[in-house]
Structure 1
């Protein structure tokens, strides 16, 4: 697309009364973007009327006199606030040409769509000294990224009584810091399980006091994982949290033969993701535990995620069973299993959700993509849960959302008798708190459900 060419006007080419204007509509993000740039985070930013003031600068720099203009000064009087949807017109009119042959004074004013004055004043500029012509830059696409979808989860979790959690092998400064964070946030009461000398050394290295924490000393990380499982089976803790041991070591104790934490369900991992570009929380499963799940495994993985999102208040979630394409192809096993899962949900083998597949990623999360491909589906374009074909696809999808879409991802292992928190050293404080909050909600709601049955 050919861009407009901006050409300036020099001092001698201008005459009194020359005027130029630009008009723009104040979008829903404009005021918040201004607040973010200025640091004015009041609910109604005091300086929001400086947005149309900036439009005056744009007229002077691009229209009259145009490129090469030097801003020397500006006085303004503010008459009205602006609001989303206002159509603002900024106009500059040449009033004075000073005797130095360079300086110009413009009347500057902005009005809204009703002709009501927003601001008025005078600008003093230095006219360009040479002819300049250049193509007008296209404005960049700018959007706000908010990370606030975990707030309600954390608030609800804080309102509940503290839940004791087994923190397994917290022998690194990061693990000790996590223990203090989740305690101080009013979420979980960690029991530190592992070699006591290593735990205290990690706390000293972190510069953190662990006075007040219960410590259960074990010889090594294997024993710490085994003790955590025993405590959970006995009902002495409501959740288990990974410290500085490897995830496989902890999960081996959870799902090993004779473990009292196993249920009839397959254990699976969920990422509960706050993706700024998406309209709601999004669950991706399984991206961390089940390498090549069978159809039966996928049924359990799906049901685990559905049960979790019910606890988060979504009564009938939409599950998109992902594949590379949205049509069944006998040469692509993922599409066959996706179609089977859709039928299984229709027959009641997966409960409490609308399930559809195969769906490609684009038409699972984009209404426009689904319409373009003519897909009629109760799930397409509005998925709550993305059920991936295997661990490799899920892990790549989750990390792409983390790094390309700036998502936050709270991780939890489901399918055992207690929730298991798997965190990474790279997780932000916001993510660690969200993971702990999710575990607390699951633990509390399971305990309430068991109490109702009793």
Structure 2
């Protein structure tokens, strides 16, 4: 990578035989970023795009390798201020993801007008010559020093975290799911895509004519899909809950109706899906700048939760985290500050919840608070403030003070930080997919995967995500 401090050498300072090198390991992200920058979408250069049945790993584009010579010339020798005249390259061995290339340039010939000819050689970690080059450049005539030559940070969003959750559902049986009132294209498409992915077996609950019209308007095929007839959205919500009690459904998915309509049926004391634990909602976010999933709770159901409700919200989120493969979730209980201040009630609640976890009243995770947003997810911020904690800077769950804070946080992460979002209602007898009408099909698929994994964890006490230990 580009050095943080770069100092050049002028034409007069360079002697024949002088050389400089840089070493770089080729990553999958390099190939994707190069495709964006160059517009070269040749599938042999893109991971996973070689074609059906082709297991050959992607190879680096020749121009990416050629640019390595440019990097050494521009950063090292001659360095900042160098201008290209020409370059020729011979490519001898393909470079693949994971290869470490050492690129060296050596001054071969000095010409008039500050022109220098360099030989170049790129060698991989096995000692194989990947490419040879000859470059003619105009060397700088004066000293140039870059005190900070670092590039701006880039975040490449691959959506791989949600892909991993969906893939983990493959060995599990699809979950029979009551889809409440799927009477528009997006909600119906989400249910049918989840069925196609073998995540759920949908039971469509609503007015048949409206469901069929939604299917016809979007070109969806309802062949083999069960429809349970109801006259309107209120009845659809009630009937979806009844299907759970009849053991015909083991999950519920929201369709084209208001969340309040569905939740009203779920939280009924008689005939609802309540358990001893308070029902809450969790957003699961795949943010490009984080290397792990982030759970934000509760941002959709409990408006101003009291202490004991927050305890249930926290426990629900820990259970979900364990279901998706986080064996010991790190939970940050959020406030505006990281110290207890009686004038800020959320800071007091956070401290109490942390102590409740210490005493075994909340189990399965590491709970700490109060923590502000910066020191909850950024390790440098936590260290700067002198916070010693296993959670600070590493949080995987953010328990927010109230619905307003959670909703704004989740939507900021989604629309400003470009995080992908899925969601699930927890604490009910079965998982409930409370998707938004603004969600795309992918978000609905991810929510369905959460439901499948959560249901599996509820019934077995073990996470189905490979390589984890989510035992209850």
- Assess same fold via TM > 0.5: yes
Partner of 1:441: 453
Matched, 1:365 2:363: no
Matched, 1:316 2:331: no
Deviation at 1:95, TM superposition (A): 3.9
* Map 1:38-437 → 2, pairs under 5 A: 38=35, 39=41, 40-42=45-47, 44-47=57-60, 51-58=64-71, 69=83, 71-78=85-92, 86=100, 88-91=102-105, 93=107, 95=109, 106-110=118-122, 119-123=131-135, 139-437=151-449
Deviation at 1:96, TM superposition (A): 8.1
Deviation at 1:227, TM superposition (A): 0.4
Q: SS in structure 2 opposite 1:244?
A: coil
Deviation at 1:165, TM superposition (A): 0.6
Using a 3 Å threshold, how does the CA distance of structure 1 residues 209 and 75 change in structure 2: closer, same or farther? same
Measure, in 1, the Cα distance between the counterparts of 2:150 and 2:388.
Answer: 37
Q: SS in structure 2 opposite 1:191?
A: strand
Measure, in 2, the Cα distance between the counterparts of 1:290 and 1:302.
Answer: 12
Using a 3 Å threshold, how does the CA distance of structure 1 residues 135 and 81 change in structure 2: closer, same or farther? same
Deviation at 1:170, TM superposition (A): 0.8
Q: What CA deviation, in whole Å up to 9, does each residue of 1:287-324 have, x standing for no partner?
A: 11111111111111111112222223333322211101
TM score, norm. by length of structure 1: 0.83
Using a 3 Å threshold, how does the CA distance of structure 1 residues 206 and 80 change in structure 2: closer, same or farther? closer
Deviation at 1:255, TM superposition (A): 1.1
Using a 3 Å threshold, how does the CA distance of structure 1 residues 210 and 118 change in structure 2: closer, same or farther? closer
Using a 3 Å threshold, how does the CA distance of structure 1 residues 204 and 343 change in structure 2: closer, same or farther? same
Larger Rg: 1
Q: SS in structure 2 opposite 1:236?
A: coil
Measure, in 1, the Cα distance between the counterparts of 2:124 and 2:191.
Answer: 54
Residues paired across the two proteins, number = 439
Using a 3 Å threshold, how does the CA distance of structure 1 residues 440 and 116 change in structure 2: closer, same or farther? closer
Q: SS in structure 2 opposite 1:149?
A: helix
Deviation at 1:22, TM superposition (A): 5.3
Using a 3 Å threshold, how does the CA distance of structure 1 residues 60 and 36 change in structure 2: closer, same or farther? closer
Q: What CA deviation, in whole Å up to 9, does each residue of 1:196-228 have, x standing for no partner?
A: 111111111101121211111111100100100
Using a 3 Å threshold, how does the CA distance of structure 1 residues 376 and 77 change in structure 2: closer, same or farther? closer
Q: SS in structure 2 opposite 1:325?
A: coil
Partner of 2:51: none
Unaligned runs of 5+ in 1: 450-454
Residues 175 and 200 of structure 2 are in contact (CA less than 8 Å); yes or no, is this contact kept in structure 1?
A: yes
Using a 3 Å threshold, how does the CA distance of structure 1 residues 312 and 60 change in structure 2: closer, same or farther? closer
Q: SS in structure 2 opposite 1:358?
A: strand
Measure, in 2, the Cα distance between the counterparts of 1:402 and 1:94.
Answer: 53
Indicate the larger mover: 270-279 or 116-125.
116-125
Partner of 2:29: 32
Q: What CA deviation, in whole Å up to 9, does each residue of 1:62-95 have, x standing for no partner?
A: 8669869465551324368588695734325354
Using a 3 Å threshold, how does the CA distance of structure 1 residues 71 and 395 change in structure 2: closer, same or farther? farther
Deviation at 1:279, TM superposition (A): 3.1
Q: SS in structure 2 opposite 1:324?
A: coil
Using a 3 Å threshold, how does the CA distance of structure 1 residues 55 and 158 change in structure 2: closer, same or farther? closer
